[in-house]
Chains A and B, each alone.
Chain A
């Protein structure tokens, strides 16, 4: 499916997301690929906060909100329940932020992946707990300053590298796992289509920049989502039938360029005196 072939119809609209929110764009594209016969299972996060606060219900597909750790477990229940009711045509799409995926939701996700049910799990990665004010998560990159990894005397922001969630997921030997970026929508859409066709669990982790959380101007979201890939800070990878494929970066950019646009890395530039 090419971008021009995407449906016109919107399945999430009128949300309260910030201007330039990468997450809502990722969800919007995902639902355009999956279509109306979909149920979304989601969890406390920015997404839930900006879409399903009554009376503002922004999803045009059914949406089931579950506790923070429970996305994938409820997904399993829905898959079983729908199958039992002869409605397995309804696709089950679990959506969680990075915190709801790589941290508190990891156990339930591991269980669901291992059980092998047919569902898609979309992790939109804005690299921190944005809904609660931008605290670090296991997915926060090394060096980023967050509300709980502030920069100060002797403290240089996040002191641990980003959790390699895609490899953790792939270690479950599921049919399909991929990382994507909203800066590369054609690639993202293609991966969503593959996820739809996978015969079992499919996982996509999509990079979704966040203007207030990362500290940048809201018109730069897509630019940063591209730059992250070009600066080697985000890989467009695919795990399929046991094999890895990683998109090669054709026009690499210095990481400094990526950092320089975001407040969360500002201290690194000062420290390195502009070198990068």
Chain B
């Protein structure tokens, strides 16, 4: 079925289709429509789930954690201040290898106070041990939320996933969305069957204390799970594509990168704008391309080397700032390219903070700037 949906509604649909069993969430703009819609689905009898009306985001994730260790499939969603408020719980969830799926409707962080989109909230949490997938459209939000459960619950991954979507630009903008049928989703996503859960027959401690002799091995296992997640994210995207006819490039999605001298790296919804600019510049004879990072964690370093290794200049568009350095993605792209025999020049551009619009003209300017660095043009 096709219908108009914004990304918030699309995520709520995914929650229903994934047969989530326990939801705990706290409202914050621009995430609110997700939790309202889920509450509505439960009230209308469309979703058979427990909705825990928590009093904060810290509690939202703690409640999801509790429900998940009881063996239930869980969901939460937040934005910005709410994600920051959850910070401590983020590490508990990932460290305990609990497969929570959370929608992060990206919004800038105060101060100054803002409700509009940028990626500072989730990028600031990139070291919390969560998988982070950034989507470009409402359709992808729905599809990625479904994929997220397969990834998070994979026996060798068991790592929580953030599905990051740009506030307002995606969360409040309707587009035509193909809504999968329940039977199709059921065949893609079986019920969650955890190997470990709270069971008095097999008493266990979740999140015990660990001394310096053992603690590192647990952290290493998280890192190995992230490495494994690279494969799993790609395989799940492929499988999803075979079933539903929609693929998103796994970890990173190149667009017209063949023979490109200058490539722009993006995350999220601005990619759609950049595609149009790439088409126009290509038409004008400029060798430009685009690489959208779908996963920020695990970081697609290999894909970046393969796709960007042949470019002369790489421009990285960051909707965040790692204060005292530069845009966080820019640093990471540079690190990925480190050691290549022929290294492209990497230029960082911080744009679109706190909802600042990024127009085609802005992106064209970035490309012009990048092309002017290209040795062929000098």
User: Chain A interface (Cβ within 8 Å of chain B)?
Assistant: 36-39, 41, 48-49, 52-54, 57, 59-67, 69-70, 72-85, 87, 90, 107-108, 110-111, 114-115
Residues of chain A within 8 A (CB-CB) of B200 are 36-39, 61-62, 90
Cβ-defined contact, A115 with B52, below 8 A: yes
Residues of chain A within 8 A (CB-CB) of B65 are 66, 70, 74, 77
Cβ-defined contact, A57 with B208, below 8 A: yes
Residues of chain A within 8 A (CB-CB) of B269 are none
Given A59-B203, A82-B198, A111-B55, also A54-B67 (CB < 8 A)? no
Residues of chain A within 8 A (CB-CB) of B69 are 64, 78, 81
A67 to chain B, nearest CB (A): 5
Cβ-defined contact, A74 with B205, below 8 A: no
Cβ-defined contact, A83 with B198, below 8 A: no
Cβ-defined contact, A80 with B72, below 8 A: yes
Within 55-80 of B, Cβ neighbours of A (below 8 Å) are at: 55-56, 58-60, 62-72, 74
Cβ-defined contact, A78 with B209, below 8 A: no
A38 to chain B, nearest CB (A): 7
B193-232 near A? 1/0 per residue, CB < 8 Å: 0000111101111111111001000000000000000000
At the interface, yes or no: B247 with Cβ under 8 Å from chain A?
no
Cβ-defined contact, A78 with B70, below 8 A: yes
Output the nearest chain B residue to A66 by Cβ-Cβ distance. Answer: B62
Output the nearest chain B residue to A71 by Cβ-Cβ distance. Answer: B62
Interface residues on chain B, number (Cβ under 8 Å): 43
Cβ-defined contact, B67 with A62, below 8 A: no
- Choose from B198, B202, B205 the contact partner of A65 (Cβ within 8 Å): B205
Cβ-defined contact, A108 with B59, below 8 A: yes
At the interface, yes or no: B349 with Cβ under 8 Å from chain A?
no
Residues of chain A within 8 A (CB-CB) of B199 are 62
Q: Tell me the bound Cα distance from A131 to B53 in angstroms.
A: 32
User: Chain B interface (Cβ within 8 Å of chain A)?
Assistant: 21-22, 24, 49-50, 52-56, 58-60, 62-72, 74, 88-89, 92, 197-200, 202-211, 214
Q: Tell me the bound Cα distance from A145 to B128 in angstroms.
A: 39
Q: Tell me the bound Cα distance from A74 to B207 in angstroms.
A: 13
B340 to chain A, nearest CB (A): 42
Q: Tell me the bound Cα distance from A67 to B60 in angstroms.
A: 13
Cβ-defined contact, B208 with A53, below 8 A: yes
Residues of chain A within 8 A (CB-CB) of B211 are 53-54
Q: Tell me the bound Cα distance from A82 to B202 in angstroms.
A: 15
Q: Tell me the bound Cα distance from A59 to B58 in angstroms.
A: 26
- Choose from B56, B62, B197, B204 the contact partner of A77 (Cβ within 8 Å): B62
Cβ-defined contact, B208 with A108, below 8 A: no
Cβ-defined contact, B58 with A110, below 8 A: no
Q: Tell me the bound Cα distance from A57 to B205 in angstroms.
A: 7
Cβ-defined contact, A77 with B208, below 8 A: no
Question: Can you list the 3 inter-chain pairs with the closest CB atoms, starting with the nearest?
Answer: A77-B66, A81-B70, A81-B67
Residues of chain A within 8 A (CB-CB) of B72 are 80-81, 84-85
Residues of chain B within 8 A (CB-CB) of A36 are 200
Q: Tell me the bound Cα distance from A54 to B206 in angstroms.
A: 11
Q: Tell me the bound Cα distance from A189 to B175 in angstroms.
A: 61
Given A69-B58, A83-B50, A108-B59, also A59-B66 (CB < 8 A)? no
Cβ-defined contact, B21 with A73, below 8 A: no
A146 to chain B, nearest CB (A): 24
Q: Tell me the bound Cα distance from A66 to B207 in angstroms.
A: 7
Residues of chain B within 8 A (CB-CB) of A76 are 24, 52, 54, 59, 63, 66
Cβ-defined contact, B22 with A81, below 8 A: yes
Cβ-defined contact, A67 with B62, below 8 A: yes
Given A67-B89, A78-B69, also A52-B62 (CB < 8 A)? no
